[in-house]
Structure formats: C-alpha cells, structure tokens
Amino acid sequence: LSLYSSPARETKYVEDPQTQLEEGVSRLRHVMEPYTAWCQQMLRLTFEAGASSSSALCSDFFSEGCEFLQNPPAGFYPRLGVIGFAGIVGLFLARGSKIKKLVYPAGLMGIGASMYYPQQAVAIAKVAGTQVYDWSLQGYIAVESLWKDN
C-alpha cells in the first residue's frame, strides 16, 4: 500500500423525497407564478413612472400600509392570525370542487373578521344587500321584458 494514495470513495447524493406540504407549496408557487410576475411588472412600471399621480397614490398607499404595520393597534396581529387561520381551515375543509375552494376560505375568513370588526361587517353587509337587491331587480325586469315581448 502506498502512503500517499487513498482508496476512491464511492459517494452518492440522494435527495429526500418531498413531503405533501412541500409539494403543495411547489404547486402553489407554479400556479401563482404568472400573477406574481404580472404584479412585479406592474409595480416596476408604477415606480418607474416617477412623479405621476398614480405612482404618488401608490406610494402613499404603501407608505401608509408600512406605517400601520410598524405601529399596529393593540391586538391586531393576533386577530390577523385568527382570520388567516380560518382561511387555512377553509382550504382544508374545501376538498373537492373548485367552488368550495373559493367559498369556504372566504366565508370562514369573513366570519372571523366579522367577529373582530362587527361595525365594518354590518356596513359591508348593508352595501352588499342593497347591491344584491339591485341586481335581482334588474334580473327580474330583464326576465319580465323578455316575457312580455314573447
């Protein structure tokens, strides 16, 4: 045996198999990639515009948002956590159809938000109620006009 040579080691790199969570996150990232690219492009165009009014509005909106997140009201983050957790629970409950995947998370998040912000929920419900009433009335008028024409 030579003192200066060592036997060749046979090493092989083996990747760990992906878990279901990693696969789900990967699928979500691939699905959302066109939308995030579009948002990045829009933000880049908005900030390149400089001193135009739309970028000033956008800049004000983001600066106010950053200030709010730096100095949130008491209990904001726990409330946000509960509302977000309700959305995640909705995603787990919404197995099957795509409509369930839209309705359950949004519904549970809406219920969670209405528990913490009841006055705003009432205001939104009033506006939504009048809007639904207007739409139903327009639909009734359209059906009635079609019925009378025939």
Question: Is the pLDDT confidence value at 59 over 90?
Answer: no
Most confidently predicted of 7-16, 17-26, 79-88:
79-88
- Indicate whether this model's pTM tops 0.85: no
Q: Return all residues near 87 (Cβ < 8 A) that are at least 6 apart.
A: 105, 106, 108, 109
Find out whether 3 and 11 touch, Cβ atoms under 8 Å.
Answer: no
- In this structure, what DSSP letter does residue 74 have? T
Amino acid at 140: Y
With CA atoms as reference, report the closest residue to 75 among 110, 120, 117.
117
Amino acid at 69: L
Mapped onto helix, strand or coil, the DSSP state of residue 49 is: coil
* pLDDT digits 0-9 by tens, 106-129: 999 999 999 998 999 899 989 999
